[in-house]
Amino acid sequence: MKKLTLIFGIIIGLIVFGAFRKKSKGNSNQKVSATEFVAELEKLGYYKYADKKNIDSLKNDLIENYDPTNELVSIWDDDTGVPLDYRYYWCDGETVYEEGGFTELLEQVKPTFEKIGLKIDVTDHFEEWDDNNKWLNHRITINGTEYVIFKNFKDYGWGEAVMRFAQIINQEAENQGIKEKIYLASGGNDGRLIFLTKELYDYIYSVYTNEQWKPLEVKEWIKVMNVKPMKLN
């Protein structure tokens, strides 16, 4: 009886192990290896703005730290904070919302504007907290167009400030026929923004799985981060 039970147990074990191997094999076929991922990024032009001397370091760093369940990685200049790929920037929502933060971020990403050929000419900027009404009004004129960032705003605007930054820059990119636009990842003090073409975005989106960390279009990002659309008129 013990022998029969043992044989039965072995058979069940083999069946379970076989099913597990089949499932694992099926999953592995759907995964993209680090080297495959980086090769496809390069093919799609991800490193086109990076200095040639930095490309191997950027590729090797991504291969070593590749994790589709987490976030993309990059290498940033120690002095300027500019990413060596000219794509993947830190974007602290608290800093962007605070006084002067919006224009500070414009200055921070200026090297990428120059790389992609995006003209950003600020001719007017108004940012005022009204103590009587306890609200914020903030607007900026870029390339002759006035954009409202906040109008009679009374809440904490970390997410809203980042949202408006991306929307405004993307509108200017569209106006100028620039294929690169801003996508957003994570939020709060851990926020990121990344410049991508639609082809690069679609590919990264298909490989990376964590919506809290992978690049998202602004309209999806505000849903994931629970940022409320604002009435600006």
**pLDDT tens sequence across 104-154:** 999 999 999 999 999 999 999 999 988 888 889 999 999 999 999 999 898
The mean predicted confidence, pLDDT, of the chain is: 88
- Rounded Cα distance between 137 and 148, Å, is 8
Amino acid at 181: K
Question: What backbone phi and psi angles, to 5 degrees, belong to 120?
Answer: -130, 100
**Which two tokens mark 147?**
């954009």
Size (the chain), residues:
233
Find, among 138, 135, 133, 130, the residue nearest to 101 by Cα: 138
Instruction: Give the least confident one: 53-57, 135-139, 169-173.
Output: 135-139
**pLDDT tens sequence across 172-208:** 999 999 999 999 999 999 999 999 999 999 999 999 9
Query: Of 29 and 136, which is predicted with more confidence?
Result: 136
> Does residue 183 contact residue 151 with C-beta atoms inside 8 Å?
no
- The helix/strand count (H/E) of the chain reads as 9, 6
Query: Would the pTM of this model clear 0.95, i.e. be above it?
Result: no
Q: How many CB atoms lie within 10 A of CB 207?
A: 16
- Rounded Cα distance between 186 and 92, Å, is 10
Amino acid at 114: E
The yes-or-no verdict on residue 230 having pLDDT over 90 is: no
DSSP conformation class of 188 = G
H or E, element range at 134: none
